[in-house]
Structure 1
Amino acid sequence: MTSPLLPVFARTDLSFEKGEGAWLHGRDGERYLDFGAGIAVNALGHAHPHLVKALTEQAGKVWHTSNLFRIPEGERLAQRLVDNTFADVVFFSNSGAEANEAAIKMARKYHAAKGQPERFRIVTFEGAFHGRTLATIAAGGQAKYLEGFGPKVEGFDQVPVEDLNALKAAIGPETAALMIEPIQGEGGIRTVSNAFLRELRALCDSHGLLLIFDEIQTGVGRTGKLFAYEWTGVTPDIMSVAKGIGGGFPLGACLATAEAAQGMTAGTHGTTFGGNPLAMAVGNAVLDVILAPGFLKEVERKGLLLKQRLAELKDRHPGIIAEVRGQGLMMGLRTVVPNTGFIAAARAQKLLVIGAGDNVARLLPPLIIGDAEISEAVNRIEAACEALEAEQASAAQRGAVQ
């Protein structure tokens, strides 16, 4: 039967009927350990009781009123984000791409408000992924996402990560901002050095530019801090957030200093659904859990445990795993074999992991993952490695016979 869905996704023939914590129950009758978490979205796992309670209680009250009226739970969530970050103001959206659109518009409007509308260009970095809108695919600059969609949206200049000379050469009189992911997620769990991020901050300060951090994948506890910039000693002017902030409910946010946001006055931007009461109830519930004393320290500890166990696996299976990357519970395995084959082998062991650029398999477990489940995941990865090694040995034997 032909699916009525637009065929833009290469879907695995697997679906789920129930989730509990770090586990998913497939309609095939199998139970899977989820180390993808909906692409870093299900920060608190599946069916977390506090999130379920918050959503169902709000659903019995009011779902949507629009931003023509005050939404008290949104004001509360914004204040909590301001209190726990560098930001002074928050704009709520439905997704990461929308959060990045807000960040891009804010950077351009900042300079226009200061009498320099010619400053609209944003320098971004090769391997980046900022979303799927026309502007955000232009910001990412990857040909595979741009092809076939007409002229590229003007105003974005890509340079290699960590190439300071190329970055300096790209900054000109039309430059408005620099935009970067502290750890590239789709790009292959590639961590940007703190030294390079400090250079970005210095360049922004000396040239009057804004610094935008895309923390859509790294944010909301994923690295062991509420946001990854806290590890770096660098504070951005604007930050986009999504994925984990809603724990599975569609929610994004653009955070900014009052200075950076000065051009965003009434009528300059908007959203119909963003910041609706359902999303705000869930977002507050997510922060209840993540900001609880000791929670982020546990994420940091579990991330170190996972990285250590993965490093041991790499040493035992050098023909399968080439490199272990990442921080906290945002880990990547660069594989020797095609990452698609590795992901399929893991899925055969009832472990769900996700592909990324640079031949990487991403491990993005829920932040509530337990030590025993980390051990179980490592055991299943080892079983996948052994199965792939057996395939390699069989192929080599067939080649020798021929």
Structure 2
Amino acid sequence: MIPYGKQTISQGDIDAVVEALTSDFITQGPRVTAFEQAVANKVGAKYAFAANSATSSLHLACLALGLGEGKRLWTSPNTFVASANCGLYCGAEVDFVDIDPISYNLCPSALAEKLAQAEKDNTLPHVLVAVHMCGQSCDMQAIHALSKQYGFNVIEDASHAIGGKYQGEYVGNCRYSDITIFSFHPVKIVTTAEGGMSLTNNPELAKAMENLRSHGITRDTDSLEDKNQGAWYYEQQDLGFNYRMTDIQAALGTSQLSRLDEFVARRNELAQRYHEKLLSLPLKTPVVAENTLSAWHLYVIQLDNPDCRRQVFDAMRAAGVGVHVHYIPVHTQPYYRKLGFDWGQFLAAENYYHAALTLPLFVDMTEEEQDFIVESLAKVLA
């Protein structure tokens, strides 16, 4: 089976992990700090904090922004459930903004319309999670302008998009957001096996996320209430969590990061080959905006005949091609339907979902494998 995605591990990655395993620190050591600094330097952010998953990083970001009971988080329905669940973890209400059918991302026009109505209803959001679907940045300049007009904070869920660019700059620099989140799951652009990272340019948000990821405990002398204790002393000043990343994971991540541009370039090459080879088939290929470099975490096509999607999916799997579907709209999940959501509320996301099919895309995929995928799809659709 050709998988829809998988990690790319080099001998250098293995050597880095072995070196970490045989060092004095395998967790809470210098490699985590080095990895954080390397990512921040790469994308142009001031602060970066690694965590054990992107979901944990999303939770920390929401807490740092003061999200809680009586407040609201909005996000795209076209995402993995973590982008919305992070709001529920904080006791906030969650709602959704429909997508742009071309980019698959949250639609700024739909957002503007919903914000105008929410202002009248006194239900404006406190936090918006803008998801960079498949590796392509949302139109962050437009979203940022709306955030200033209506007074909400912005989190970029860039779990798909490390190495991607918006307006010529790396995603993650937080030019148009308060916090950006990366994921390092094995099917993402770079991996730490499991892991995430939050980036910000705001020192207060940075301090909050740093403390909350480690039980809310501080040893910083300047922050302690009792400054007269010995070097053993620490204080729990908030109710935090154990969301820390290990040095072993950070060693892998740092090694992977050194090949980030290479990974993204190869993914773009493979995406371009898909564009060219799929032209004659009854489907729509994904579109990337002119001012954007997609990291191409996913390559999602739209079938002209959505009614045949199940048959196409099953036939491709039977042929040894690990197609997938990203994503089932969050608002249609049973848990969210219990909260009052249902089919028919966000039609662009629902129409996208019914026709969506994810084709395999990963750095080590050969052109022969890609040709086989296209040939198999052509046979099935015929």
Q: Look up the equivalent residue of 1:387 and give its one-letter code.
A: V
Match of 1:48 in 2: 10
Q: Look up the equivalent residue of 1:376 and give its one-letter code.
A: E
- What is the distance in 2 between the residues matched to 1:207 and 1:348? 50
Match of 2:43 in 1: 85
8 A contact 2:31–2:251 mirrored in 1 = yes
Matched residue SS, 2:14: helix
Match of 2:60 among 74, 99, 102: 102
8 A contact 1:119–1:174 mirrored in 2 = no
* Count of residues in correspondence between the two structures: 307
Match of 2:254 among 277, 284, 287: 284
**How much does 1:202 deviate?**
0.9
**How much does 1:379 deviate?**
3.2
Q: Are 1:241 and 2:182 an aligned pair? A: yes
8 A contact 1:239–1:255 mirrored in 2 = yes
- What is the distance in 2 between the residues matched to 1:269 and 1:49? 41
Q: Look up the equivalent residue of 2:255 and give its one-letter code.
A: A
Match of 2:357 in 1: 361
8 A contact 1:122–1:155 mirrored in 2 = yes
Change (3 A) 1:352 1:276: same
Q: Are 1:136 and 2:136 an aligned pair? A: no
Change (3 A) 1:297 1:102: closer
Q: Are 1:181 and 2:142 an aligned pair? A: no
TM-score by length of structure 2 reads 0.67
Change (3 A) 1:89 1:181: same
Unaligned runs of 5+ in 2: 99-105, 217-237, 289-293, 328-352
- What is the distance in 2 between the residues matched to 1:234 and 1:89? 13
CA offsets, 1:258-313, max 9 Å, x none? 2560671742464436221111111111112225xxx26733xx52x434433344
Change (3 A) 1:119 1:260: farther
CA offsets, 1:19-64, max 9 Å, x none? xxxxxxxxxxxxx433422xxxx2xx2x422211111222233564
Unaligned runs of 5+ in 1: 1-31, 110-116, 140-151, 390-402
Q: Are 1:127 and 2:95 an aligned pair? A: no
Aligned residue runs from structure 1 range 1-400, under 5 A = 32-37=1-6, 42=7, 45=8, 47-62=9-24, 64-65=26-27, 67=28, 71-108=29-66, 120-131=71-82, 135-136=85-86, 138=88, 153-160=91-98, 161-162=106-107, 163=110, 164-170=112-118, 172=122, 175-183=125-133, 185=134, 194=139, 197-220=140-163, 227-228=170-171, 235-242=176-183, 243=185, 244=188, 247=191, 249-259=193-203, 261=205, 264=208, 266=211, 267=216, 268=238, 270-272=240-242, 274-290=244-260, 295=262, 298-299=265-266, 302-303=267-268, 305-318=269-282, 321-325=283-287, 327-329=294-296, 330-335=298-303, 336=305, 338-357=308-327, 358=353, 359-363=355-359, 365-369=361-365, 373-389=366-382
Match of 2:338 in 1: none
User: Percent of counterpart pairs with the same letter?
Assistant: 16
**How much does 1:238 deviate?**
0.3
**How much does 1:353 deviate?**
2.8
- What is the distance in 1 between the residues matched to 2:359 and 2:375? 14
Q: Look up the equivalent residue of 2:178 and give its one-letter code.
A: D
- What is the distance in 2 between the residues matched to 1:48 and 1:180? 32
CA offsets, 1:324-355, max 9 Å, x none? 45645332112235444333333334332322
**How much does 1:362 deviate?**
1.9
Q: Look up the equivalent residue of 2:75 and give its one-letter code.
A: T
Matched residue SS, 1:249: coil
8 A contact 1:123–1:179 mirrored in 2 = yes
8 A contact 1:340–1:355 mirrored in 2 = no
Change (3 A) 1:269 1:353: farther
Match of 1:145 in 2: none
- What is the distance in 2 between the residues matched to 1:227 and 1:130? 25
CA offsets, 1:144-185, max 9 Å, x none? xxxxxxxx94332322232121133335576422211122x5
8 A contact 1:345–1:388 mirrored in 2 = no
Q: Look up the equivalent residue of 2:131 and give its one-letter code.
A: E
Change (3 A) 1:332 1:136: same
